[in-house]
């Protein structure tokens, strides 16, 4: 089909929504390292996991070999409420940049949770329901994951308990109200509803909470209440499996028009979006069928790929979760509170970490003021107000397109537009007022938190 | 095509986006009454209008006869950024209600302005640009219209000056920041940037502003600055013309599957959404080709159709705008501040008023607590958090579907879901906390403001 017949938005039909998720691990020669029990230093067994996660999700977490998982019919029906997500040809952005590059973005923000998180939330809630559980618990910081999980649970009639970092609970009342509208109970953390919460409150009565603390409370509630399990929105292998729907749809849409991307770009916090977007493309690259430049974009304030260490570390700042091998800044690393986006995680998905370590992808870090410049430029011509997280990918995509303008190359760029910024307007206001600043950790900051990495057999 | 092949979401292709707007007035035997000059009591001439509105829009405003207007290519390209809007089969809502009714909704909220307002904003901005103007001015209350206009102006490189009611400017900083991100200047009204603003501030230094005052300021800036015109997001004939894209798309999508709605439902404030949604269906009804039940839904707190008077009245509380013949509660009627939705206009589009007067449509009023009950029920099963305005239509659609459940009738219901509620979470919080109340005007309240209607020849 000729170039000029490509519409602004490519929608698959509902029948073309993928019927299977793709498990990237099946095509990796070097598999991601297993999660370790922090007490024993040994790989976590399915039995150990099953008190925390529901059974099917444990299976998915541990399975490095099955390439495709059928998507259950009920999940596909839920997907039909907001999928297929459009693949957009950014004609207006290309024109504004004056670039010969062809830019596409996969837009995951057209649902009330405002991001791609819903893709895994419905899957995790579905398996919990199927196992006959009463409900699930989780933590949320900015609130996108909590919102997505609330929506999934409301749909399935499953109880949903969200522990929301107290400072976010107070400063982001709107996210909280969306979750409540979807029937979730939202508790500011630390709270007096758990042992760990009471202990922290006794010691630090004025604390505004942390993600580490909220995780601890959510896990405690899950393991101490029959019929509950804990769920997590990023980092885990199972999450990347569910999020492969992003890349599978994007690839199917491009294939319809015979388009092959040269460069694939995604923002990277814990890796849920990037891992999902690149999955089928990376699969081809691993199998030697096709080559793509794949670029992870992270904030300069929290640069786990570009300045971190590939090592076993805790996934949470509270150091109660299993150890994962990943690029990490150290679980004690606290990114600047100044940073507006949600890409504040100190570590990175083990799958993506292994792929980066093995040279299958690149990473760049970008400063937030330049990220918001890109966000504004994008919003004005493409009509979508992007989330700060997504805008990291926009920044990198614009930079690549401008390089094409210099060289005259007509490269095809695909990036992930993970969500909308409707709940991030405090950050936009800082940018509009010209008072946004960039804070980048020093080498000493990073060295200090990396020095505190846990001792694990085979790790210095 | 058989019933069960209807997808959850019917998307037209970009080629199927309508190429013409439909002017409902062409098929009305009784034309809507003309706007009057409040000074002379005579119909407003094109020349009188052209100092305020740009020329093509004056032509559209006055043209009761041309049935179809070609949509300019540049506007169609802008539409392609967020249209076609999906027509959704509400399978999950039907199941939750246990109704034999078939429910469809046309969803206009999948764009950053969050509503259908963008359909007319881009048209009005386009004609201003084409006339070589520098910019446009407008007022905004809740902010949806101001946001839509900011987006359209950013796309076209047109200056956009928005006067935002001061209390909204302060209480809804997020809407304001979206507009600023799109490059609009947003001024809290009353302000010291206009004569009328300075006069009001001198008299009432502590006023929090009103829509009437903001209109006065926006009009003053438009007429006193060369190269500027004033634009309005509802009520006017030209706005209903542009909004016919909603109904034309909805009808094309239904026609694809051979579906004919029995009942068509829309919320009604000034009439921009309802007039657009029903346009092609009402056209068939007026021409005697097909029959439909058409229902306007208004808030019990501001019931212009169901409790108002059909008479000439000012469109603004400041009484500086032309007189329009419409169902009105009187321009001095102030709906309860308690009401959360944006359907607070005292009057109604002249076109819709005439059609209602002539018996072509019905109207119902609903109380806001029952509206938010419907909103929550809808959100939980359909996955979209609806705007309070749109939720009025949801309430009525659910009520009709429940009647079908009683009678066993398999009616087909189409309603307009005009937008999302992401900037209305203060209202959702009231509902979630159980503190939302309903305030309904007394007969005396209405009689008092109706008694103050202006004296016009032929009107009592």
pLDDT profile of chain A (460 residues), mean per 10: 76 95 98 94 94 96 98 96 96 97 97 96 98 97 92 97 91 91 96 93 88 87 95 95 98 97 96 97 98 97 96 82 93 80 88 98 97 97 95 98 98 98 92 93 94 80
B383–A contact, CB cutoff 8 A: yes
Which helix H or strand E contains B170, and what residues bound it? helix B166-171
Contacts of B382 in chain A (CB under 8 A): 81
Q: In the structure encoding, which two tokens stand for residue A304, read together?
A: 């786990």
Beta strands in A348-411 (DSSP E): 362-366
Best probe of the A interface among B112, B159, B374, B435, by most A CBs < 10 A, is B112
Q: Count of residues for chain A? A: 460
Q: In the structure encoding, which two tokens stand for residue A77, read together?
A: 């029906």
Q: How far is CA A363 from CA A143, A307, A336, A353, B354, in A?
A: 26, 10, 20, 11, 63
**Can you tell me the ipTM of this complex?**
0.94
- The answer to whether B213 and B197 have CB atoms below 8 angstroms apart is yes
β-sheet with B159-165: strand ranges across? B185-189, B159-165, B135-140, B228-230
Instruction: Enter the pTM of the model.
Output: 0.96
Within chain B, which residues score under 70 in pLDDT? Answer: 1-4, 317-318, 458, 460
- The answer to whether A92 and B81 have CB atoms below 8 angstroms apart is yes
B325 DSSP β-pair partners: B312
Which helix H or strand E contains B181, and what residues bound it? helix B173-181
- DSSP tag of B322: P
B173–A contact, CB cutoff 8 A: yes
- A–B CB contacts, 8 A cutoff, strictly below: 117
Contact state of B111 with A80 under an 8 Å Cβ cutoff:
no
Best probe of the A interface among B156, B380, B387, by most A CBs < 10 A, is B380
Only one residue has tokens 């386009």, namely B126
Strand-strand pairing, A20-22 and A68-70: antiparallel
Helices (H) and strands (E) in chain B, counts: 18, 15
Q: Looking at CA atoms only, how far is residue B398 from chain A in angstroms?
A: 18
Only one residue has tokens 């150091």, namely A319
**DSSP letter string, A389-437:** HHHHHHHHHHHHHHHHHHHT---EEEEEE-BB-TT-HHHHHHHHHT---
Interface of A with B in 317-376 (CB under 8 A): 376
The pLDDT score that the predictor gives to residue A460 is 54
Residue of B110, B173, B183 with shortest CB distance to A429: B173
Which helix H or strand E contains B106, and what residues bound it? strand B102-107
- DSSP tag of A413: E
Question: Residue B63 CB: number of other CB atoms within 10 A?
Answer: 16
A43 DSSP β-pair partners: A36
A154–B contact, CB cutoff 8 A: yes
Torsion of CA A138, A425, A266, A323, to 10 degrees: -30
C-alpha B91/C-alpha B382 separation (Å) is: 8
Contacts of A174 in chain B (CB under 8 A): 422, 425
C-alpha A445/C-alpha A447 separation (Å) is: 6
Residue B447, φ and ψ in degrees, nearest 5: -60, -40
- The answer to whether B248 and B209 have CB atoms below 8 angstroms apart is no
- Per-residue pLDDT reduced to its tens digit, B322-332: 899 999 999 88
Contact state of A422 with B425 under an 8 Å Cβ cutoff:
no
Q: In the structure encoding, which two tokens stand for residue B370, read together?
A: 């029952």
Nearest Cα neighbor of B124 from B222, B238, B271 is B238
C-alpha B64/C-alpha B29 separation (Å) is: 10
Q: Looking at CA atoms only, how far is residue A92 from chain B in angstroms?
A: 9
Interface of A with B in 93-132 (CB under 8 A): 110-112, 114
- The answer to whether A174 and A143 have CB atoms below 8 angstroms apart is no
Q: How far is CA A322 from CA A319, B250, B349, in A?
A: 8, 52, 63
Q: Looking at CA atoms only, how far is residue A181 from chain B in angstroms?
A: 6
């Amino acid at each position: 089909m000729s170039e000029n017949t490509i519409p602004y938005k490519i929608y698959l039909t509902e029948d073309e929504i993928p019927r299977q998720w793709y498990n990237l691990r099946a095509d990796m020669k070097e598999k991601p390292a297993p999660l370790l029990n922090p007490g024993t230093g040994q790989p976590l067994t399915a039995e150990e996991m099953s008190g925390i996660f529901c059974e099917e999700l444990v299976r998915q977490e541990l399975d490095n070999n099955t390439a495709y998982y059928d998507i259950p019919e009920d999940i596909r029906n839920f997907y039909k409420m907001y999928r297929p997500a459009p693949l957009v040809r950014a004609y207006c952005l290309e024109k504004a940049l004056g670039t010969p590059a062809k830019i596409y973005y996969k837009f995951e923000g057209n649902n009330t949770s405002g991001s791609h998180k819903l893709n895994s939330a419905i899957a995790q809630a579905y398996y919990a329901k199927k196992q006959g559980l009463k409900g699930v618990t989780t933590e949320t910081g900015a609130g996108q994951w909590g919102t997505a999980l609330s929506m999934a649970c409301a749909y399935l009639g499953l109880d949903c308990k969200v522990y929301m970092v107290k400072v976010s609970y107070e400063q982001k009342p709107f996210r909280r109200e969306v979750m409540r509208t979807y029937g979730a109970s939202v508790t500011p953390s630390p709270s007096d509803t758990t042992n760990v919460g009471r202990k922290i409150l006794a010691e630090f009565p004025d604390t505004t909470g942390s993600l580490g603390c909220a995780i601890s409370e959510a896990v405690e509630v899950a393991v101490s209440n029959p019929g509950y399990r804990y769920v997590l929105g990023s980092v885990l292998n199972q999450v990347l499996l569910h999020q492969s729907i992003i890349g599978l749809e994007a690839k199917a849409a491009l294939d319809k028009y015979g388009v092959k991307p040269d460069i694939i770009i995604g923002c990277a916090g814990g890796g849920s979006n990037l891992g999902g977007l690149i999955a089928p493309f990376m699969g081809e690259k691993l199998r030697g069928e096709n080559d793509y430049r794949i670029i992870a974009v992270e904030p300069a304030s929290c640069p786990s790929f570009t300045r971190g260490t590939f090592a076993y570390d805790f996934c949470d700042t509270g150091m109660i979760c299993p150890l994962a091998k990943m690029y990490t800044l150290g679980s004690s690393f606290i990114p600047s509170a100044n940073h507006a986006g949600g890409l504040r995680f100190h570590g990175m998905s083990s799958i993506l970490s292994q792929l980066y370590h093995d040279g299958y992808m690149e990473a760049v870090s970008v400063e937030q003021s330049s990220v918001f410049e890109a966000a504004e430029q994008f919003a004005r011509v493409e009509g979508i107000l992007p989330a700060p997280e997504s805008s990291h990918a926009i920044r990198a995509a614009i930079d690549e397109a401008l390089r094409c303008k210099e060289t005259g190359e007509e490269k095809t760029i695909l990036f992930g537009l993970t969500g909308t910024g409707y709940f991030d307007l405090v950050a936009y206001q800082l940018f509009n007022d010209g008072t946004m600043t960039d804070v980048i950790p020093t080498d000493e900051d990073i060295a200090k938190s990396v020095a505190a990495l846990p001792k694990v057999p085979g790790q210095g």
